[in-house]
Structure 1
Amino acid sequence: EAEAEAKAAVAVLAKLSAQMEALLLQAQRLTLAALALPISRELQALDEQPLRDSLRGAEQQAEEDRADLMAFSAAPNSYMTQAGEHLLGMPLVLEPFSGGEALTLLHPQLRARGLEEARAAEEAHAGAAPADEDESSEWLWIESVAHTVVLQLLKRVRSLPALSPRGAKQLAADVDYLSNICSAGLSLPQPELEELASLLSCPAEALPRLVESTSSLSADFARAITAKRGVFVK
């Protein structure tokens, strides 16, 4: 009888543990979405018609405009600079919570990478002794926010109907800006952004070979981007 009661107690504890883990996962998922929300709002500009029309441009570009395109030096649009500022400020947002129990270790399902890989990257960046648990926790949260933002950007870029030569050059500047924020500002390089910027800025005649060399982006995604530029790669 005692053994049966013990088994029943263990079963209850296991059920409670599973429920608590599910609750923690949901709470962290909501927190992660809230942290990424200001950046997501800025990226919504890519869903709006004015920017889409600007990136698509005229169907036929006059010959005299081509010389202007060569001289066109794109600066990132304001929506992307605002998104970059929010992302760059993420360490300051999380810093007040990193010294105690308020910032719990991010659930494995929500991490951009495995814990050991994230720690190794952090140690390599610091060039020092391994970080403590609080620092690792903060690192995982920031990395997951960056990863979430990258996925949202890729989804929105893929939904664009078309890109004119000038529009592709402008979008490349936007993507490259965010890529620099991640790599230089946060030491979180995002190879998907680097490859996307290359697909947007590469000369049309070199796109087929570039599509073959992509590794972080899927070949299907890369072909979709070239098609938006009017280059159809098999």
Structure 2
Amino acid sequence: MSRYASNWGGAVAASNELKQMVHALHNEGIEVILDVVYNHTNEGFDRFPYLTSFRGIDNLVYYMVDVNNYKQLSDYSGCGNTLNCNHPVVVQLILDSLCHLVTEYHVDGFCFDLASILCRGIDGAPLACPPVVRAVTQDPILERFIKGDTGMKGAFVTCLSESADLYQVNQRKPFHGINFVIAHDGFTLYDLVAYNSKHNGANGEGGQDGSNDNFSWNCGVEGETNEAAVNAI
């Protein structure tokens, strides 16, 4: 995004500044998790298309398309189009993109926006074993480790799989529940346990920006505190 460069410096400057930012954050012990959007593009929908790349290259390869209807582009993303993530060409595009961000910019990890799209086939139906997900997990550059205490991996997987040890007695299945902590649209994980409400004074919007449904708890004191009991919680 060349417009992100300081003083409108252009694409090369934007690229270099992003690298410098990641390097500076790493020097402070901060990892960089990048939010990536592979579920749709900016090219819009059939009624008002915005042709910039994939639709002109090969619409049937890059997008989920219903050729039997007048309105051809399938919209599972809610943004007018849906990237055909499990087509071999698109799988390679996504892999190349992720690997480039890791090797060139040293990004530490990714948050996949509307990741359920990555699990759909060419007809939009959910896949039992999506090729793009398998490719990411098997790529030597992209495979990741999760920090945890010794012997806790099994318990973590159980919780991530909807806690069958707690709910299976009621015949509950994984699709009956959702594990959700935070997203890029709300509080950070720190804010989630430090504030009961928003305090976005610095941006001039008086706390009116963003969602109010953060389901946060300040553990007894609003904001940062030196109280040992609160910090222990």
Normalised to the residue count of structure 2, the TM-score between the two structures is: 0.28
- Considering fraction of residues, name the structure with more helix: 1
Q: State the structure with more CA Rg.
A: 1
Normalised to the residue count of structure 1, the TM-score between the two structures is: 0.28
Comparing both chains, which one has the higher relative contact order based on Cα–Cα distances under 8 Å and sequence gaps of 6 or more? 1
